[in-house]
Amino acid sequence: MWLLSTSRAELHQFLSPEAIPGPYAVLSHVWGKKEQSFEDTRRLETKCRGLKASPRDYASSKIRESCILAEQHGYDWLWSDGPCIDKSSSAAVSEAINSMYVYYSRAEVCYAYLKDVPPGDIFDERIRKAFRESQWHQRGWTLQELIAPRIVIFLSQDWKLLGTKAELADLIEAVTQIPESLLRLETQLASFSIAQRMSWAAHRQTTREEDKAYSLLGIFGIQIPPLYGEGRQSFYRLQEEIMKRFHDTTLFAWQFVSSRTDRALSSTFYHHNHSDDTYLFAPSPLAFCNSSQMRFSPPPFATRRSEDFLHQTTVESDTEPSPIPTLSVTPYGVLAHIPVIELPQGTIAIFFWMNKQDHLGLRLSPCSSSIDSSRLLYDVFPGDSRLVPLSVDENDYIVDGHPVHAVWKKLYIAHRPPPDTLAPDASTSLYIPLNLGVLMPFRVPGGSIHELHVSTGLRLASVSPMTLPWTGSSPVTLTFEPDNDDTRANILPGIELHLGRCTKSVPVGQAPSGRHLGPHWARLVFHDLKYMSPHGDADDGHSCSEDHVEDWPQSMKVIQPPWSQPDGISGLLAPPPAKLCCTPCPLNPGTTLVVEFIVEEAGHGENDRNRGPGGRQRTLS
């Protein structure tokens, strides 16, 4: 562990925080484009040694001012992540990442430097507004830097004191949703559920995808080796470690909550494409944005009268059941020993969750792609059908007004995507056969698919099966779903793009071939994927009067959504119109068309149609 001497800003090494002579301070800040590094500090020390000067006088303004302030407050040592971590050493980086929470918790004081907050009185509304909007509250690493130290002193851009986290707890809670009681040390971190802690990180950003997980290690007391380059795998690894060490099952209590049980259970259409929200584990902290009130709470009848509640144990159980679920990771999925409710509409798993005063269950469905018929594998229902509200009386659960019994079972639940499916860019990682040839009737370039994902939050979820060479006689369907890792997931519905060649001109009794096929046609269909199967009406039919590309003005068609007002069911805003463009492919302009989208972002008016923030037009090209 390296620290800076506050008098000279020189590096000194100690074996551990306990080995430091006297108390030390730590710095919390938002990184800029150029920060003083470990190597910079070493070079500066060498240079100043020859000049017989103090390195602090030549250090970056952030390091210089933080050292001066710490020295004024009586501290001889300061730790800062820029100059105190030797990033040329993977071992040093790993040690720092896994020890970060300890470094901050053992410090006597933490200085939180807010470069974007002007000087002034924190009781001035202008300063309070700047404090609320500071980037410091939005960064992933600053979460543990706020929680770990006993004393956090907030500083304005001129290094003047704004107040401590205890003094500003009400303001910080309004910004971060972290309870005042934790900030004032009235309650311990362990008092909050896994889901609650995850919710505090839901809207925080990190430069590296992996840091969404690594920045949370200390919040859960977990240590895992950092592997930069693994992408989203890091967050799945973190969740596996949490599951191994905690009885708290709210780790799985993420995503939307249905307001009525019967509405959730009415969602019987289920497209089995293994999207991110069909697993036990969440794809990112954002999935916990609605989990700030989620608690792990075994019902009273499961603790007071466990014998009565647990007497219905299946023959699969070879030990006495416990009122607390048991979970273990296997290559096949998570083996869970839990109570389940079997209903005609599906299976509800009981993990003993409460959201405020409401009990919740997890809705499961048999996995149609299970490879072992002797061990039934379950998927989780996607969208806001995932969590189901339940009522509880003394001995029973109440579902849709009727008492039901929960029976303890052992079952397997898919917990994460297979490692080989976690490509860095999920929006373009699917196999798209129609892009593999130059003679296909249509091509949908990967760049266009990626731009659609960036501009609207819709990702390519599936491509219907097709036989090569594809002539277009059998349509192909591309399904785009809202990305659950995107804050816009609830604004736009899903989209189906159907492409083909008209077969009405093919002589009766003759097999369709490229020579006899008619015009290219394209059809765009809006779907609310939470309530409709993505392939519910994917037949071979099309409208010759509406879908033939050659009849579209400028080869462009405006598609109006099927509803113009919020639907009253899903709470979605009315989706905006979309334009479908088909232009000749430079590789084969005679018979191949390139498909492009122009999608207006939700919330823009008629005068801003097809334009994003700042008036920039959203196109796929």
User: Residue written as tokens 């909007």?
Assistant: 133
CA distance linking residue 605 with residue 399, whole number of Å: 43
pTM over 0.85: no
Q: Give me the helices (H) in 107-216, please.
A: 125-132, 142-147, 169-176, 180-183, 194-200, 211-214
The pLDDT of residue 538 is 35
The pLDDT of residue 294 is 95
Over the Cα atoms of the chain, what is R_g?
29
User: Residue written as tokens 């990184």?
Assistant: 31
Type and span of the H or E element at 558: strand 556-559
User: Residue written as tokens 């929200």?
Assistant: 277
Type and span of the H or E element at 399: strand 397-399
- Main-chain phi, psi angles of 77, to 5 degrees: -135, 145
Structure tokens that stand for 365 in this block: 């469905």
Type and span of the H or E element at 411: strand 407-413
Structure tokens that stand for 442 in this block: 């249509």
CA distance linking residue 242 with residue 249, whole number of Å: 10
Instruction: Give yes or no for a contact between 295 and 354, defined as CB atoms under 8 angstroms apart.
Output: yes
Counting as low any pLDDT under 50, the low residues of the chain are 258-264, 267-272, 301-319, 423-428, 529-539, 563-573, 602-621
Which are the contacts of 230, defined by CB distance < 8 A and separation ≥ 6? 210, 237
Instruction: Give yes or no for a contact between 82 and 36, defined as CB atoms under 8 angstroms apart.
Output: yes
Structure tokens that stand for 119 in this block: 């000087």
Structure tokens that stand for 79 in this block: 């730790």
CA distance linking residue 202 with residue 205, whole number of Å: 9
Closest CA to 494 of 562, 393, 402: 562
What stretches of 176-312 adopt beta strand conformation (E)? 294-296
Q: Is 294 helix (H, G, I), strand (E, B) or coil?
A: strand
Closest CA to 9 of 33, 43, 32, 34: 43
Structure tokens that stand for 619 in this block: 């196109």
Q: Is 197 helix (H, G, I), strand (E, B) or coil?
A: helix
Which are the contacts of 553, defined by CB distance < 8 A and separation ≥ 6? none
Which are the contacts of 313, defined by CB distance < 8 A and separation ≥ 6? 321, 407, 408
Closest CA to 563 of 575, 578, 550: 575
Amino acid at 80: S
The pLDDT of residue 594 is 93
Compute, in degrees rounded to 10, the torsion defined by CA atoms 318, 320, 325, 327.
Answer: -30
CA distance linking residue 97 with residue 217, whole number of Å: 8
Amino acid at 492: L
- Main-chain phi, psi angles of 235, to 5 degrees: -75, -35
Instruction: Give yes or no for a contact between 353 and 338, defined as CB atoms under 8 angstroms apart.
Output: no
Q: How many CB atoms lie within 10 A of CB 105?
A: 16
- The angle at the Cα of 303, spanning 302 to 306, to the nearest 5 degrees, equals 60
The pLDDT of residue 428 is 44
CA distance linking residue 458 with residue 76, whole number of Å: 53
**Alpha-carbon distance values, 300 to 297, 378, 393 (Å):** 9, 28, 10
